[in-house]
């Protein structure tokens, strides 16, 4: 049951992290206008199960006036509102308060901040921590997102004897290209499920400035600039979707067997296999595997 809509308010980001699901960076195009945000919020009201709106990116704070007005509109429409940010502007407590107080007054209730080695290294006193501290003082539910570089764990105790990889990164987006080298792999025939995303009845989807509805990063189930968001969600049939269907039946292996793809001999995990195979299908399904920039293209 769909309960959350996550706006990719912009693909632009002041960081260019190796683990980024969306291949974001300083030169990434694509940002909502406030009119577009309002249109999507009004359409979301028709989906009565949705209670929570998140604004993220990229880095939504790069467009602070847009973010502030978007939070205000979402709250006025009756949604609980959260943001996901790297909090780069929280250089001191006074600065964090300067940024966060207007957002709280506009209706913000949840603050999720990226605080890990990809963003701030091992620095303990960093903007993310400062933003969380001030956010909690202002009454926000504030928590960190901590994803560290992958590492091979000392004791391989996987179900089939395979080595386990720690760190928490999922190998999709830029991570599939920058973080997989040297990691243990498994034969493609072993990846027979999607363990991370609910492709049948998702609890949340991401919407982007180009109109794509992401059920997973770069995997679209429709474009709400062409057909209404509420109608797309109501009519979504996962087993008939050219990409979701094979994934539901046999995971990434299904993409290979049903779509006639030539795979690599092995992949690091399900995400690595799925992302790599989807990238091979960009020309075949340009409206479903979109936007291309999420695939580094």
Q: Is residue 216 part of a domain?
A: no
Q: Is residue 90 part of a domain?
A: yes
Q: Which two tokens stand for residue 65?
A: 């006036």
Q: Is residue 116 part of a domain?
A: yes
Structural domain boundaries, residue 93: 1-148
* pLDDT confidence band for 49 (50 / 70 / 90): very high
pTM: 0.94
The alpha-carbon radius of gyration of the chain (Å, integer) is 19
User: Do 153 and 88 belong together in one domain?
Assistant: no
* pLDDT confidence band for 255 (50 / 70 / 90): very high
User: Do 123 and 166 belong together in one domain?
Assistant: no
User: Do 29 and 52 belong together in one domain?
Assistant: yes
How large is the average pLDDT for residues 195-221? 97
* pLDDT confidence band for 159 (50 / 70 / 90): low
Lowest mean pLDDT among 111-120, 198-207, 236-245, 262-271: 111-120
Q: Which two tokens stand for residue 286?
A: 């340009």
User: Do 143 and 180 belong together in one domain?
Assistant: no
How large is the average pLDDT for residues 227-235? 95
Q: Quote the pLDDT of residue 161.
A: 54
Q: Quote the pLDDT of residue 162.
A: 61
Q: First CA to last CA across the chain, in angstroms?
A: 32
Q: In sequence order, which ranges of the chain are alpha helices (DSSP H)?
A: 34-44, 64-76, 93-106, 117-120, 127-137, 175-178, 229-235, 244-259, 270-279
How many domains, in total, are found in the chain? 2
Q: Is residue 154 part of a domain?
A: yes
For 95-131, the DSSP string reads HHHHHHHHHHHHTEEEEEEE-SHHHHTT-SS-HHHHH
Q: At what angle do helices 270-279 and 244-259 cross, to 10 degrees?
A: 70
Lowest mean pLDDT among 124-133, 162-171, 193-202, 219-228: 162-171
Residue 253 confidence (pLDDT) above 80? yes
User: Do 256 and 178 belong together in one domain?
Assistant: yes
Q: Quote the pLDDT of residue 117.
A: 80
Q: Is residue 203 part of a domain?
A: no
User: Do 1 and 144 belong together in one domain?
Assistant: yes
User: Do 64 and 91 belong together in one domain?
Assistant: yes
Distance CA 233, CA 162 (A): 38
Q: Quote the pLDDT of residue 123.
A: 73
Distance CA 297, CA 287 (A): 14
User: Do 162 and 190 belong together in one domain?
Assistant: yes
User: Do 126 and 171 belong together in one domain?
Assistant: no
Q: Quote the pLDDT of residue 116.
A: 82
Q: Is residue 209 part of a domain?
A: no
- Tell me the three state secondary structure of residue 36: helix
Q: Are 196 and 170 in contact (CB under 8 A)?
A: yes
């Amino acid at each position: 049951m769909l309960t959350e809509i996550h706006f990719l308010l912009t693909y632009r980001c002041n960081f260019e992290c190796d683990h980024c699901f969306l291949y974001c960076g300083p030169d990434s195009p694509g940002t909502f206008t406030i009119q577009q945000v309002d249109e999507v919020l009004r359409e979301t009201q028709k989906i009565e199960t949705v209670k929570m709106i998140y604004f993220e990116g990229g880095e939504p704070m790069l467009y602070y006036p847009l973010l502030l007005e978007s939070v205000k509109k979402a709250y006025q429409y009756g949604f609980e509102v959260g943001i996901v940010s790297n909090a780069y502007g929280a250089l001191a407590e006074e600065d964090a308060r300067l940024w966060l107080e207007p957002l709280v007054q506009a209706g913000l209730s949840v603050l999720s901040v990226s605080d890990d080695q990809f963003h701030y290294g091992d620095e303990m006193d960093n903007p993310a921590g400062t933003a969380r501290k001030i956010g909690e003082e202002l009454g926000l539910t504030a928590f960190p997102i901590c994803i560290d570089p992958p590492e091979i764990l000392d004791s391989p105790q996987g179900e089939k004897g395979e080595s386990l990889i720690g760190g928490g990164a999922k190998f999709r987006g830029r991570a599939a290209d920058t973080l997989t080298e040297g990691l243990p792999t498994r034969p493609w025939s072993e990846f027979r499920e999607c363990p991370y995303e609910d492709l049948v009845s998702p609890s949340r989807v991401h919407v982007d400035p180009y109109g794509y509805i992401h059920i997973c990063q770069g995997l679209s189930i429709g474009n709400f600039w062409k057909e209404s968001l509420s109608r797309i969600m109501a009519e979504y049939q996962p087993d008939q979707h050219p990409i979701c269907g094979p994934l539901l039946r046999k995971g990434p292996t299904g993409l290979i067997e049903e779509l006639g793809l030539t795979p690599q001999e092995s992949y690091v995990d399900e995400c690595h296999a799925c992302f790599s195979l989807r990238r091979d299908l960009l020309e075949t399904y340009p409206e479903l595997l979109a936007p291309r920039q999420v695939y580094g293209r």
